[in-house]
Structure 1
Amino acid sequence: MSKDEPGTRSGEAAAPGDAPAPKTGIELAREALAQARADAAKRQSVPGQRRRRRSGGSARDPRRGGGPQLFGAGIKQLLSDRGWEQRAAVGGLFGDWERVVGRDLAEHTSPGAFEDGELVVSCDSPAWAQQVRLLSGQLVRRLNEELGEGTVRRVKVTGPQQVRKPGQWRVR
């Protein structure tokens, strides 16, 4: 049989009305391989072989979500891309208040809202509120060491939220 005329022998012409003989498994495999090679040639790769990385860097850009990267590095990149670094740092400060300001101060104070460089600190007594007001300069310096220079510009101190009614503490 010739390659040009399936189902015929070399030199013989196909008779009109004769159906071509079904292809064998090996012929189908050869055709599939030839098609795969042709497709690979279009893509400039060879089937069954891995692509070699270029010596100029990695094959994938991790910032585009193409390859694996460390979780911490991915989170930092996300925070940076979205402009959330300062918010995340301030949120971390709220969770780690005791380490930043010390155990004694943390027992009597808690961070409140943070907006436009102003941190609201709530105190559990008027005496501690006065103490924090006196230490506010040092507190701003310490917070800026943790969060980055210029993040906290002012500390607003609030005392206990209980309002004493007139005559409430009178002895009868």
Structure 2
Amino acid sequence: MAENTAADPGQGGGGELRGIDLARRALEEARAAAKAKGQSVGQGRSSSSGKKHTGRRGWSGAGPDRRDPQTFGSLTSSIAKTRGWSSKVTEGTVLGRWPQVVGEDIADHANPTGLRDGVLSISAESTAWATQLRMMQPQILAKIAAAVGDGVVTTLRIAGPTAPSWRKGELHIRGRGPRDTYG
């Protein structure tokens, strides 16, 4: 059985290294060799040089790793971000998830019709609801900003229901026109 006779410089007594002291010494030597080669010597997954580790590691730690399974939402958001689709995705979120963004009560009585250049057009089911939504405009904008981020929707254009047109056919007269004479 071969004994390790290397002395520990920290002990000063010239004794043998055993157990944990031997492991610490080997770790210090490995770190010094890595530092001499210009490699990262820190603990954890991130390197101080900022380079990505492209090789496979033989072990996996307890923390999150790039090889871990990812959620579908995080993958699609990263693809949208790299391809420059982020603004379109957030606009689609406002229109597609309208009940979750503003709440069921508002969504039951108003529908978004379009989003262009930060202006969200909303069609209310009645003039009373259009008036109510105009008064609630700051709260609605705050809800939208909380759901999809600031700057996606800057103003709201709220319209009531469209009234039926009394113009029928190609020919019509100017002014009030004929009125009923009942009564």
- Place the TM-score, normalised by the shorter chain, in its bin: 0.5 to 0.7
Q: 1:57 aligns with which of 53, 57, 64?
A: 53
Q: Which residue in the other structure is 2:122 paired with?
A: 121
Q: Is the 8 A contact 2:90 2:152 kept in 1?
A: no
Q: In structure 2, what is the Cα distance between the partners aligned to 1:147 and 1:157?
A: 20
Q: Number of matched residues?
A: 111
Segments of structure 2 that go 5 or more residues without pairing to the other structure are: 1-51, 57-66, 167-175
Q: Which residue in the other structure is 1:49 paired with?
A: none
The correspondence of residues 1-172 of structure 1 with structure 2, limited to 5 A, is 57-59=53-55, 70=70, 71-163=72-164, 165=166
RMSD: 3.1
Q: In structure 1, what is the Cα distance between the partners aligned to 2:162 and 2:103?
A: 23
Percent identity, aligned pairs only, is 29
- Look at both structures and tell me which one has the larger radius of gyration over its CA atoms: 1
What secondary structure sits across from 1:163 in the alignment? coil
The C-alpha deviation readout for 1:24-75, integer Å capped at 9, x for no partner, is xxxxxxxxxxxxxxxxxxxxxxxxxxxxxxxx72349xxxxxx997444432
What TM-score, normalized to structure 1?
0.54
2:76 maps to a residue whose letter is I
What secondary structure sits across from 1:78 in the alignment? helix
The C-alpha deviation readout for 1:95-146, integer Å capped at 9, x for no partner, is 2211221221111100111011100011111110111111111111111111
What TM-score, normalized to structure 2?
0.51
1:134 maps to a residue whose letter is M
Q: In structure 1, what is the Cα distance between the partners aligned to 2:144 and 2:73?
A: 23
Segments of structure 1 that go 5 or more residues without pairing to the other structure are: 1-55, 61-66
